[in-house]
Amino acid sequence: MNITMLVPFPDALDMTRFSKEEFRKYPDLTVVGTDDGLDELQSFSDLEYHIGHTLDKATEIEQKGDCDALIIGCFGDPGLMAVRQKTTMPVMGTGATAFSVAAMFGDKIGIVVPQRQFIHVTERMIYLYRYTDRVVGLETTEDDISDTVVTKPEEMVKSLAEACRKLVVDKDADVLIFGCIGFAWAVEAVRDIFKNEGIETPIIEPGATVYQAAKLAVELGLNHDRRPLM
């Protein structure tokens, strides 16, 4: 089995390099970035700028003929529908998959995103994916992930834990989603904090979740019906 995670940012970007390192533990997963794009991502327009580059790379990946399933490696799922239109293999959205799995483990979903400017983007995802009646709250760590992971990882873990705790205590969330694959490295640390505090609320880490979902799709021989996209 060969699964590819296409990070919709340039190969040289810190986030792409981080993803390659973080998901290296999965031997049948290859992480690639786009061939071109912006040097940093600070807004929704920055994300959408890369959709053309993402389409080009997805087409290239399919033409090679050795990819069983493709993952859009960003919680915001930029270009997901467009990539499905241009390819024939299963194309999994990281955010869409995280929402679906979270709904299996709880009725009240809480989401933590890295920066405040991504709250509105996530709110639009909630609406488009029809989870308006399931998401009870959004919190942000207000961290620049590419910088904080390197300079103050302990502080980021504390910020994540506090944001998650607010969603559980103040919003009564019974399942949590990390709204960025850049949080992947911290999920076990936050789970340990919750365990020590007697909090049993499950935390969905989207990168590992979408990888496992892609494997399941391949093993079950599932693919998308392209008719609604045409």
pLDDT tens by residue, 119-157: 888 999 999 999 999 999 999 987 555 555 555 678 889
Strands of the sheet with 69-72, listed across from one edge? 29-34, 3-10, 69-72, 91-93
Tens of pLDDT, residue by residue over 165-223, are: 999 999 999 999 999 998 898 999 999 999 999 999 999 999 999 999 999 999 999 99
Taking the C-alpha atoms of residue 80 and residue 50, their distance in angstroms, rounded to an integer, is: 12
Split into its structural domains, the chain has a count of 2
DSSP symbol at 71: E
167 and 76 part of one domain: no
112/34 same-domain check: no
Residue 53 sits in the same domain as residue 68 = yes
- Indicate if 46 and 119 belong to the same structural domain: no
Percentage of the chain beyond pLDDT 90 is 66
Question: For residue 26, what is the domain's CATH number?
Answer: 3.40.50.12500
Domain coverage including residue 28: 3-93+208-229
| Residue 116 and residue 187 share a domain | yes
Query: Are residue 85 and residue 9 in the same domain, yes or no?
Result: yes
Strand partners, 29: 3
**How do residues 43-76 score in pLDDT, each as one tens digit?**
677 777 778 889 999 999 999 999 999 999 999 9
Nearest to 118 by CA among 72, 180, 182, 187: 180
Read off the DSSP letter of residue 24.
T
